[in-house]
Each structure stands twice: as structure tokens, then as C-alpha cells.
Amino acid sequence: MNEIFGTQYFGFIASSFGITLFVLLAITFWILWTHRARRKALAKLEAAGIKRASSK
């Protein structure tokens, strides 16, 4: 770790990369989770017989 981030500014460099990784992973998982939830909701509506005109 010292090789990558050094010792003097370890906290600053590691936290910059850490926060970037956290935010980008968070937005990616949020988008994936939303997709899953919406696919489920759409399937539920179609199972109840409410279908789009194009899928009839």
C-alpha cells in the first residue's frame, strides 16, 4: 500500500480513490437494483392481464 499511496499523504490519496470507488459502485448498484425492481413491477402488471398494446 505504501508503494501505491506513499506514507506522507496516504490518507488523502486513499480517501480520494476510496470515495470515487464507493460513489461509482453505489450509482451502478442503484441503477441495477432499479432495473430489477421495474422489471418485476412490469411483469406483475402483465401477469394481472394489463398489457401494452404492442405486446398483445
**Residue of 29, 47, 50, 56 that binds other proteins (CB under 8 A):** 50
Q: Kindly state whether residue 20 participates in binding other proteins, applying the rule CB under 8 A.
A: yes
| Sign of CA pseudo-dihedral 42, 47, 50, 56 | positive
**Residue of 27, 29, 47, 56 that binds other proteins (CB under 8 A):** 27
Smallest distance, Å, CB 3 to other proteins? 8
From residue 41, how far is each of 31, 37, 49, 54 by CA, in Å? 15, 6, 13, 18
Smallest distance, Å, CB 52 to other proteins? 6
